[in-house]
Amino acid sequence: MRTVYFISDLHLGAYNIADEQEKEKRLLSWLRKIETEQAELIIVGDLFDFWFEYKHVILRKHIRVLAQLQSLCQASPVHYVAGNHDFWLDSFMREDIGLIIHAEEYVFLLDQYKVYIKHGDGLLRNDYGYRFLKRILRNKMNIFLYRMLHPDIGVPFALFCSHLSRRSGEKSRHEYMDIDYRKFAMEKIEQGFQFVVLGHTHWAALEKHGDGHYINPGYWGKDFTYAVIREGRVELHWWDGENEHPYIPDYPPGNLKQNDGGACVSCFI
């Protein structure tokens, strides 16, 4: 079985300079590790806190990460499932970097195992407002009109809006209940998927349901966590910049409902 890494919710560009430098340093060393292993990488959304492709302009602050991703793409496949902070992915990512872009979801076979991947924005049952906003933001005419803004105006404005949205989400992080996400994962497992991978919640998770597993790589943007499937195991880890360590999920109080498999740090397939 080939080795596959999963990472989500990095939110590059979201915080102060010192935090972003540390985040980038750890990410670059982790990407080099994957390249050395010739393993496959799947980004489960929100690599950037904001990403928008103008026809002739690329955000300069991400150049080192983009260069390392391009190098990794030359060694092994890198898939990118768009998140709610970066779904304006276009030809630059595909043609110049080499990423394989999935706008909504990604389904594939890992040997004989069926894998379902989605960022997860909009899965909450009562998130009607966001689902409506998502249609507006992905409208081709609206994207065309936004490109009319000069990048020196459009980028800071979008980062400001992203900051307000993220700040609101982080204030409620400790009360966040992802029951809807676990329910969605269980439904997919009952449909025949052995692995269901979601991001967005900023809560790392690895749980066995029947014959399948619900995986959430967690919040790299602060916790530096990720998931990996290798040598017959699915595991959660965090990266210190040089080495990986087992990661024990920190579930919200009262949210974890035990099932036939329960939560784990490392599960046999």
Q: Using one digit for the tens of pLDDT, what is the confidence trace for 109-120? A: 999 999 999 998
Q: What is the pLDDT of residue 161?
A: 66
β-strands 100-102, 78-81 pairing: parallel
Residue 158 confidence class, pLDDT cut points 50, 70, 90: low
Q: What is the pLDDT of residue 67?
A: 97
For the chain, give the percent of residues with pLDDT over 90: 53
Q: What is the pLDDT of residue 131?
A: 58
Of 124 and 221, the structure prediction assigns the larger pLDDT to 221
Q: What is the pLDDT of residue 160?
A: 65
Residue 60 confidence class, pLDDT cut points 50, 70, 90: confident
Of 157 and 152, the structure prediction assigns the larger pLDDT to 152
Of 31 and 174, the structure prediction assigns the larger pLDDT to 31
Residue 172 confidence class, pLDDT cut points 50, 70, 90: very low
For residue 99, give the CATH number of its domain.
Answer: 3.60.21.10
pLDDT exceeds 90 at position 246: yes
Of 156 and 18, the structure prediction assigns the larger pLDDT to 18
Work out the average pLDDT over 201-225.
93
Give the residue numbers spanning the domain of 79: 4-268
Q: What is the pLDDT of residue 254?
A: 40
Q: What is the pLDDT of residue 268?
A: 75
Domain count, the chain: 1
Q: What is the pLDDT of residue 77?
A: 96
Q: What is the pLDDT of residue 206?
A: 94
**Over the stretch 185-202, which tens digit does the pLDDT of each residue have?**
999 999 999 999 999 988
Please state, rounded to an integer, the average pLDDT across all residues of the chain.
Answer: 84
pLDDT exceeds 70 at position 163: no
